[in-house]
Amino acid sequence: MINGLCKKGKTEEANELLELMSQRGLQPNVVTFSTVINGFCKKGKMQEANGLLELMSQRGLEPNMVTFTTMINWLCEEGKTEEANGLLKLMSQRGLQPNVVTFNTMKSGLCNEGKMEGKVEEANGLLELMSQRGFQPNLVTFNPMISGFAKRGRLRKLMG
């Protein structure tokens, strides 16, 4: 039911149902929380999504890869790459290693951000970190970098 409400954009109602579950002694799991977090993110309500992330921790539930990658994606969509990078670090602190989707999401956000100064180095740093962790860069890895820098006439800087 919560998933259906979120798909229809009724995130507030889904959140109320989440609270009702708790009031009735039912413990929502990581998937349930992640679903509502994604719903809030889709609506640009990052503060509410962050609140649910904190509530999960208070209840002893650890966000999983999907939870973190979802939030990183939406933060990058909003151009908040510094906050997204903070979540990337939080993941590692909690013992979750970013996967190729997480890395590609973060790189895409960096490369599409309005101001490019310093972002080449950050994106290249992510590429290096991916390689260190055993992930093989692919077309999905490089396309956002090439596109983002080409749009701004900065392709030479990326290649140099």
pLDDT digits over 93-139, tens only? Answer: 988 988 888 888 887 777 776 555 556 667 777 777 777 878 777 76
Are 34 and 18 contacting, i.e. CB atoms less than 8 angstroms apart? no
pLDDT digits over 7-43, tens only? Answer: 999 999 999 999 999 899 999 999 999 999 999 999 9
Are 123 and 111 contacting, i.e. CB atoms less than 8 angstroms apart? yes
Model confidence, pTM = 0.75
Among 102, 101, 15, which Cα is nearest to 6's?
Answer: 15
pLDDT of 153: 67
